[in-house]
Amino acid sequence: MTTDNSIAQTKESQSKITPAMAQDLLMAGNQRFVNNMALNRHVKQQVEATQKVQAPFAAVLCCIDSRAAAEIVFDQSIGDIFTARVAGNFVNTDILGSLEYATEVVDSKLIMVLGHTGCGAVKSACIGISDMGNISPMLDNITPAVKEVEKEMPNDPENPVFTNKVSTTNVSMTITNMINDSEIIKARAASADVLRIVGALYDVASGEVTLTHEYNPQTGAVDSIS
């Protein structure tokens, strides 16, 4: 299958995409983005082609950070991917329901949890901001990753090695929480032919996405990708 998905997805084209192909489509798109070689799309035609039905091949859970918009960094367009965004790219009931819809109802083949370098939500969680409206309880979702990384090195919110490690750990924990809290997603991810779940980190300096984790349905573990 070509990685040139410049034409709007249809149910027919989506049905031919395997989870592995879906991952390749995203990563090929990121390489185009990095190399400033975005596909030449007729967006208006895609709007018209998808007005009655959509068939995205993947769902990306990413941060609200303005530098990490999934459609842009993966060079995708109208009807290609579902995108769920929340500061710190964690899961809750609303995000899980959205991802269940993407996979169970619309049959997207891949879920990617995308963290990024220089994440303000992660840095704030490292600092431990309290009593700030709804921001503080939101940051509580990232605190477990902070605590985990603190077992390896001192908590230093100004140290990108520490904060980026928290970001990747948070990605891994988010995938684990997704599996633990969604029977629908867990059941679909049990088959490599139905759904793949991966984690990745976007570098805000280079524009490059690096795969970091993959859910292993055989062991139930979230494995690191070296």
Length of the chain as a residue count = 226
> Total domain count for the chain?
1
Buried b / exposed e along 148-164 (16+ C-beta atoms within 10 A): ebeeeeeeebeeeebbb
Q: Is residue 154 part of a domain?
A: no
Range of the domain at 48: 11-115+172-224
109 or 192, which is more confident: 109
Q: Is the pLDDT of residue 86 over 80?
A: yes
- Band the pLDDT of 1: cuts 50, 70, 90: very low
User: What torsion, rounded to 10 degrees, do the Cα atoms 48, 49, 55, 57 define?
Assistant: -100
Average pLDDT estimate for 187-215: 97
Q: Is residue 151 part of a domain?
A: no
Q: Is residue 136 part of a domain?
A: no
Q: Is residue 4 part of a domain?
A: no
| Residue 8 burial (C-beta neighbours within 10 Å; 0-12, 13-18, 19+) | buried
The CATH number for 47's domain is 3.40.1050.10
Average pLDDT estimate for 40-54: 92
Q: Is residue 176 part of a domain?
A: yes
Q: Is the pLDDT of residue 7 over 90?
A: no
Q: Is residue 210 part of a domain?
A: yes
Question: What does residue 180 show for φ and ψ, rounded to 5 degrees?
Answer: -70, -30
CB 144 within 8 A of CB 173: yes
Q: Measured between alpha carbons, how far is residue 110 from residues 67, 117, 184 in Å? A: 22, 22, 14
Q: Is residue 1 part of a domain?
A: no
How many CB atoms are located within 10 Å of the residue 127 CB? 13
Distance, CA of 30 to chain centre: 13
Q: Is residue 102 part of a domain?
A: yes
